[in-house]
Amino acid sequence: MFLTALAPAIWGTTYAVTTEFLPPGRPLLAAVVRALPAGLVLVAVTRRLPKGDWWWRALVLGALNIGAFFALLFVAAYRLPGGVAATIGAVQPLLAAGLSTGLLGERLSLRTVIAGAVGVAGVSLLVLRADARLDGIGVAAAVGGAVVMATGVVLSKRWASSAPPLAATGWQLVAGGVLLLPVALVVEGAPPTSLTAANLAGYGYLAVVGSAFAYVLWFRGIQALPATDVTFLGLLSPVVATVVGWLALGQSLTVAQGLGGLVVLGALVLAQAQFKPRQLGTRRLARTQRS
């Protein structure tokens, strides 16, 4: 659980890295650099290619988890205040819970629904501003991003691969990066010819830490944990982003934001606790059978 939680915690640093190190106006380039080089390195290191159904499954999962999600995420980020986009994205656990009921046969409990609603409320307290403006295209992109991410997590759980996590992660990053590359070239044009040392450091961080390392932990967690639990951990991203903005960027931190962070952590605890009674009952049944 802790290792999986590291992934969204790392992603919470993306905003600070993007604003402080990357060239402005190139979000799709950042998405491509984040995905494609990291994926190619992982595939080269593992020397494993998809087999059978995994050729098209890797393409579908890469499109959902990486390609479509990154594109929709950046559209939402450019057209909406960050608080609005993060609040809409916080519905992912509820979407994943609903999809898990139909695709994985998991039971949708009242505790999960309550935890999901509490998580949305906590994120809104943490990042939403009273003067936030709404944009139709931005809202649609934010909703679409939440849908494709939740779908990708659930399908990743349903289509469990026997390949090592490094290889399976590499396939998806390559697939998503290849899909993003022509979109970035058409929308943003060729990459800039002059990049500073800070730019290169920022891109390197996103590729190595934000993708190669974080996504291996994320997809490993999807295989080990219930899909809904994994998406709840994604609520850590806005918490970390707020803390990093306060500590590293000198942004203010209000009482409401502090309360929102505590509410989000409470939602995480509530969501994870739902499986303990069932596990306890299983242990008691095992002891009874042994006796």
pLDDT value for 82? 59
Instruction: Report d(CA 132, CA 109) in Å as an integer.
Output: 33
The two tokens of residue 288 are 């009874």
249 CB-near residues (< 8 Å, 6+ apart): 16, 19, 20
Q: pLDDT in tens for each of the 291 residues of the chain?
A: 788 999 999 988 887 888 889 888 888 898 899 999 999 999 999 999 999 899 999 999 999 999 998 888 878 777 776 567 777 788 888 899 999 998 888 888 888 999 999 999 988 888 777 666 677 888 888 889 889 999 999 999 999 888 888 999 999 999 999 999 999 999 999 988 889 999 999 999 999 999 999 999 999 998 888 888 889 998 898 888 888 888 887 877 788 888 988 999 999 888 877 444 444 444 443 444 444
Contact between residue 61 and residue 69 where contact means Cβ atoms under 8 Å apart: no
Alpha helices in 47-135 (DSSP H): 54-62, 69-79, 82-89, 92-103, 110-127
Contact between residue 58 and residue 50 where contact means Cβ atoms under 8 Å apart: yes
pLDDT value for 107? 85
pLDDT value for 262? 92
pLDDT value for 132? 60
pLDDT value for 137? 84
* Domains of the chain, residue spans: 2-290
Instruction: Report d(CA 258, CA 237) in Å as an integer.
Output: 15
Number of C-beta neighbours around residue 179 at 10 A: 20
Helix, strand, coil in percent for the chain, rounding step 5? 80, 0, 20
265 CB-near residues (< 8 Å, 6+ apart): 122, 239
The two tokens of residue 255 are 């009482």
pLDDT value for 130? 62
pLDDT value for 283? 45
Contact between residue 142 and residue 91 where contact means Cβ atoms under 8 Å apart: no
Number of C-beta neighbours around residue 225 at 10 A: 17
DSSP-based three-state secondary structure for 189: coil
